[in-house]
């Protein structure tokens, strides 16, 4: 049976193996496993890549969010606007700070937070907006920043899946008060463990972030703040520096893969859309399909791995049961949770692999002659109507 990988990290390692092995060996020989020189070098390179003044490497994308909220002095009882359809990290860090995540439904075009529904959720307790740039595509930050400014709010971009993407020529993680990303191994730019980064242009916030990630230390054993151990290991920084050299090439490969997927699957399933003025880094290639779980099972039998991001929307997670009103509805998020299916994509996927995935998927759908019409009806995602509603 075919053994395809959803994200072939081994193939990537083999491509860069001499450089990665040398980078790891260099750190081992230096014995500078914490605060080694690779950390500062990586931070300089990340800041230059994103186009910001400060980049701070840290222990994970989740800790990046937590450190950002601590820097912005989020307090118990405060509220933060969050998308209803996303990974739990952003909203859970709001709760971790004893504040309340306020969920907003997502756009049926790009699956990011629906800008037309944000203001209705703002109250006197709202302090900021966390906009997740989902599946590799930036949220609509021009509109989000405008809303935030009119209400005196800060904005954080959770760019865990979008590092490398652009929005009207600007890089993800460069457009908000503070931005974060993740270097979890499966991300477009991933390390060999957990890792993350925080991006900011504010000197004062950058200094505070640096203290908070190292137990609040201003100098060794002089603790100005209560912080956490949020440092990145030097080994991970060394690995990321190698991968960052080839990152733009891998993004282009992902974009070419997404284009081929879209061409081959057009008219067969509902495809992801990239809004005007944006370029996706394609952390995922996620289609919408009826009978999702059955299709996924059948593809697995043929050796084709898929995954579901995300089967339970955040407002329905037990962890947030006290944060959601009983009559709140998140129609698009709920429909997506029932129908999205992510197909294999990475910087080294081949044309042959993509064609095989598409062939097997289309073959499975051949017994459903009305599949596209039915899917549009079920999803309520008639593209022309929704494009008009969401891009006014």
Tell which residue, 78, 65, 82, has the closest CA to residue 330. 82
Question: How is 288-305 classified by DSSP, letter by letter?
Answer: E-TTHHHHHHHHHHTT--
Active site residue 187: yes
Nearest-angstrom CA–CA distance, 132 and 113 = 7
Do 161 and 36 sit in the same domain of this protein?
yes
Half-sphere exposure of 385 (CA within 13 A, CB side): 6
Q: Could you tell me the pTM of the whole model? A: 0.94
Do 271 and 319 sit in the same domain of this protein?
yes
Q: How many residues does the chain have?
A: 392
Do 172 and 275 sit in the same domain of this protein?
no
> Total domain count for the chain?
2
State the CATH number of the domain containing residue 173: 3.40.640.10
- Please tell me what DSSP assigns to residue 232: P
Do 35 and 62 sit in the same domain of this protein?
yes
Do 198 and 261 sit in the same domain of this protein?
no
Half-sphere exposure of 202 (CA within 13 A, CB side): 14
Q: Indicate whether 216 belongs to any domain.
A: yes
Question: Using N-to-C axis directions, what is the helix angle for 234-245 and 247-265, rounded to 10°?
Answer: 60
Nearest-angstrom CA–CA distance, 204 and 211 = 11
**Residue where a domain stops, chosen among 194, 226, 245:** 245
Do 187 and 275 sit in the same domain of this protein?
no
Nearest-angstrom CA–CA distance, 80 and 348 = 38
Tell which residue, 316, 287, 306, 328, has the closest CA to residue 88. 316
Instruction: Indicate the helix (H) or strand (E) that contains 101.
Output: strand 100-104
Which residues 6+ apart lie within 8 Å of 113 measured at CB?
Answer: 81, 82, 83, 104, 106, 107, 129, 131, 132, 139, 144
Do 198 and 76 sit in the same domain of this protein?
yes
Instruction: Indicate the helix (H) or strand (E) that contains 24.
Output: helix 9-30
Nearest-angstrom CA–CA distance, 275 and 385 = 15
Tell which residue, 38, 32, 33, has the closest CA to residue 244. 38
Token pair 């950002």 is found at 68
Phi-psi map region of 377: left, alpha, beta (phi>0 left; psi -120 to 50 alpha)? alpha
Distances (CA, A) of 22 to 19, 31, 232, 248: 5, 14, 19, 22
Instruction: Please give the residue range of the domain that contains residue 297.
Output: 247-390
Q: Indicate whether 46 belongs to any domain.
A: yes
Do 217 and 271 sit in the same domain of this protein?
no
Q: Indicate whether 1 belongs to any domain.
A: no
**Residue where a domain stops, chosen among 189, 215, 245:** 245
Nearest-angstrom CA–CA distance, 360 and 171 = 35
Read off the tokens for 354: 């993509």
Q: Are 234 and 32 in contact (CB under 8 A)?
A: yes
State the CATH number of the domain containing residue 314: 3.90.1150.10
Question: How is 333-375 classified by DSSP, letter by letter?
Answer: HHHHHHHEEEEP--TT--HHHHHHHHHHHHHHHTT-TTHHHHH
Q: Are 313 and 330 in contact (CB under 8 A)?
A: yes
Do 236 and 288 sit in the same domain of this protein?
no
Q: Indicate whether 3 belongs to any domain.
A: no
* 170 phi and psi angles, rounded to 5 deg: -95, 145
Q: Indicate whether 2 belongs to any domain.
A: no
Do 287 and 230 sit in the same domain of this protein?
no
**Residue where a domain stops, chosen among 245, 269, 284:** 245
Nearest-angstrom CA–CA distance, 224 and 227 = 9
Q: Are 307 and 83 in contact (CB under 8 A)?
A: no
Do 240 and 329 sit in the same domain of this protein?
no
Q: Indicate whether 169 belongs to any domain.
A: yes
Using DSSP bridges, classify how beta strands 278-279 and 222-223 pair: parallel, antiparallel or unpaired: unpaired
Q: Indicate whether 120 belongs to any domain.
A: yes
Sequential pLDDT tens for the chain (392 residues): 567 999 999 999 999 999 999 999 999 999 999 999 999 999 999 999 999 999 999 999 999 999 999 999 999 999 999 999 999 999 999 999 999 999 999 998 899 999 999 999 999 999 999 999 999 999 999 999 999 999 999 999 999 999 999 999 999 999 999 999 999 999 999 999 999 999 999 999 999 999 999 999 998 999 999 999 999 999 999 999 999 999 999 999 999 999 999 999 998 899 999 999 999 999 999 999 988 999 999 999 999 999 999 999 999 999 999 999 888 999 999 999 999 999 999 999 999 999 999 999 999 988 665 455 555 544 555 443 344 444 43
Q: Indicate whether 234 belongs to any domain.
A: yes
Do 240 and 253 sit in the same domain of this protein?
no
* 296 phi and psi angles, rounded to 5 deg: -60, -40
Q: Which of 37, 53, 149, 187 is catalytic?
A: 187
């Amino acid at each position: 049976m075919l053994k395809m990988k959803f994200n072939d990290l081994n193939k990537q390692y083999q491509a860069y193996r001499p450089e990665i092995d040398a980078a790891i060996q260099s750190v081992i020989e230096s014995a500078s496993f914490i605060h080694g020189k690779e950390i500062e070098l990586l931070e300089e390179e990340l800041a230059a890549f994103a186009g910001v003044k400060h980049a701070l490497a840290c222990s994970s994308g989740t800790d990046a969010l937590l450190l950002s909220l601590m820097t912005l002095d989020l307090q118990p009882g405060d509220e933060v606007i969050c998308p209803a359809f996303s990974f739990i990290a952003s909203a859970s860090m709001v709760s971790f700070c004893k504040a309340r995540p306020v969920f907003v439904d997502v756009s049926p075009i790009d699956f990011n937070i629906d800008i037309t529904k944000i203001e209705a959720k703002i109250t006197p307790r709202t302090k900021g907006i966390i906009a997740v740039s989902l599946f590799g595509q930036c949220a609509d930050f021009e509109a989000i920043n405008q809303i935030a400014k009119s209400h005196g709010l800060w904005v954080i971009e959770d760019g865990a899946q979008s590092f490398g993407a652009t929005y009207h020529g600007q890089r993800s993680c460069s457009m908000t008060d503070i931005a974060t990303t993740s270097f979890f191994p499966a991300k477009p730019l991933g390390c060999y463990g957990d890792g993350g980064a925080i991006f900011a242009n504010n000197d004062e916030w950058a200094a505070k972030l640096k203290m908070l990630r190292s137990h609040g230390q201003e100098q060794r054993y002089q603790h100005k703040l209560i912080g956490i151990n949020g440092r990145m290991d030097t080994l991970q920084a060394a690995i990321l520096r190698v991968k960052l050299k080839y990152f733009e090439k891998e993004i282009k490969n992902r974009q070419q893969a997404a284009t081929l997927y879209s061409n081959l699957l057009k008219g067969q399933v509902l495809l992801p859309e990239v809004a005007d003025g944006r370029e996706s880094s394609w952390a995922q290639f996620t289609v919408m399909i009826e009978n999702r779980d059955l299709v996924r099972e059948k593809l697995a039998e043929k050796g084709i791995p898929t995954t579901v991001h995300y089967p339970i929307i955040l407002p329905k997670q037990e962890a947030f049961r006290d944060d959601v009103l009983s009559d709140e509805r998140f129609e698009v998020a709920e429909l997506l949770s029932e129908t999205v299916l992510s197909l294999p994509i990475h910087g080294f996927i081949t044309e042959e692999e993509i064609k095989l995935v598409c062939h097997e998927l289309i073959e499975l759908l051949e017994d459903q002659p009305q599949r596209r019409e039915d899917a549009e009806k079920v999803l309520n995602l008639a593209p022309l109507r929704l494009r008009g509603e969401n891009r006014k």
